[in-house]
Amino acid sequence: MKRLLIGLTALCAVVSFAPVALAVEDWVEVTENEVGDRFLVDRNSIENREGIIWYWEYRDFQEPNNAFVGVELEQPVYGALVYRSVDCTSLVSRLRRITVHGRGRQVIHRAVYDDNGRLVQPMRGSSSAEVLQFVCDQDQADEANATDESN
């Protein structure tokens, strides 16, 4: 009974925090920067909502990167699961949700910002800009495929 309650509690936490977690995930590594940090996007999470693209991203840090989180944490940050939205015209993105991981992928911080998340326009040529361009290109490819299928 105790195992069932623990399992149900974990399932409820996942469902309430990350609704796309129930979908089939298709994580693809978009890029790796010069220090070995990896940038991944769940292709199946890419969703166009009235011209704004929403998606899940995972950042895997080779060395601790607490500066990425923007809040003071006592434990070193080795990864972050991030829910973002991006305007593909301006390549400005908004942080919507974040789950920060320490070593061994243990959760050390969570935050839900929704419409109050910070806006970012990454520098052209940066790994972050590559991720945004990938997401926008995927959405355009999906739209082209949908148009071809309807003809």
Strand segments (E) across the chain: 27-32, 38-42, 47-49, 52-60, 79-87, 92-101, 107-112, 119-120
pLDDT at residue 140 in the model: 78
Q: Mean of the per-residue pLDDT values for the chain? A: 86
Domains and CATH numbers, the chain: 23-150 (2.40.128)
pLDDT tops 80 at residue 117: yes
Predicted local confidence at residue 92, as pLDDT: 97
Distance between CA atoms of 8 and 12, rounded to whole angstroms?
6
**pLDDT given for residue 148 in this prediction:** 61
In three-state secondary structure terms, 101 is: strand
Q: What is the dihedral of CA 46, 47, 48, 53, to 10 degrees?
A: -50
**pLDDT for position 97:** 98
